[in-house]
């Protein structure tokens, strides 16, 4: 089955700096890669995603890049703010049951701390 590795496990930055979180996946059939932000005691919230036919996607201060050949994808947050502090999870979706989408396999998470 799919295996997703996420690094680093913790990341500490100063406000205004950039933060980069990297993930690798194992199953070349995976075709959808979302990123979730989870604040303490809250549900995961989708912040950005990318499909396998796209190499890069940007939404304001957040961007995601995908390298299908190397099977890795990254989250980039620019001009970080204290409210960006949370746990970030990457995931990969593998088609199943004859559909083009399916369950998510998650990375272990990155605890991001943005210091004012």
Partner 1 sequence: GAGVSQSPSNKVTEKGKDVELRCDPISGHTALYWYRQSLGQGLEFLIYFQGNSAPDKSGLPSDRFSAERTGGSVSTLTIQRTQQEDSAVYLCASSTRQSTYEQYFGPGTRLTVT
User: How far apart are alpha carbons 33 and 14 in whole angstroms?
Assistant: 27
**Sign of the C-alpha dihedral, residues 32, 104, 66, 27?**
negative
Instruction: Write out the binding residues for partner 1, residues 87-106 only, by CB under 8 A.
Output: 89, 91, 93, 96-106
Determine, following the binding rule CB under 8 A, whether residue 30 of this chain makes contact with partner 1: no
Identify the CA nearest to 90 among candidates 28, 26, 3, 22.
22
Determine, following the binding rule CB under 8 A, whether residue 29 of this chain makes contact with partner 1: no
**Residue choice 3, 29, 42, 61 for contact with partner 1 (CB under 8 A):** 42
**Residue choice 24, 34, 35, 47 for contact with partner 1 (CB under 8 A):** 34
Helix (H, G, I), strand (E, B) or coil at 20: strand
Determine, following the binding rule CB under 8 A, whether residue 10 of this chain makes contact with partner 1: no
Determine, following the binding rule CB under 8 A, whether residue 32 of this chain makes contact with partner 1: yes
């Amino acid at each position: 089955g799919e295996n997703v590795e996420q690094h680093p496990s913790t990341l500490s930055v100063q406000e205004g700096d950039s933060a980069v979180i990297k993930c690798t996946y194992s199953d070349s059939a995976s075709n959808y890669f979302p990123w979730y932000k989870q604040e303490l005691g809250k549900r995961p919230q989708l912040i950005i995603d990318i499909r396998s036919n796209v190499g890069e996607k940007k939404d304001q201060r957040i961007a995601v890049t995908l390298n299908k050949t190397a099977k890795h994808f990254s989250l980039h947050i620019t001009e970080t703010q204290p409210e960006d502090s949370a746990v970030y999870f990457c995931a990969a979706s593998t088609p199943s049951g004859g559909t083009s989408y399916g369950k998510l396999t998650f990375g272990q998470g990155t605890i991001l701390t943005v210091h004012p």
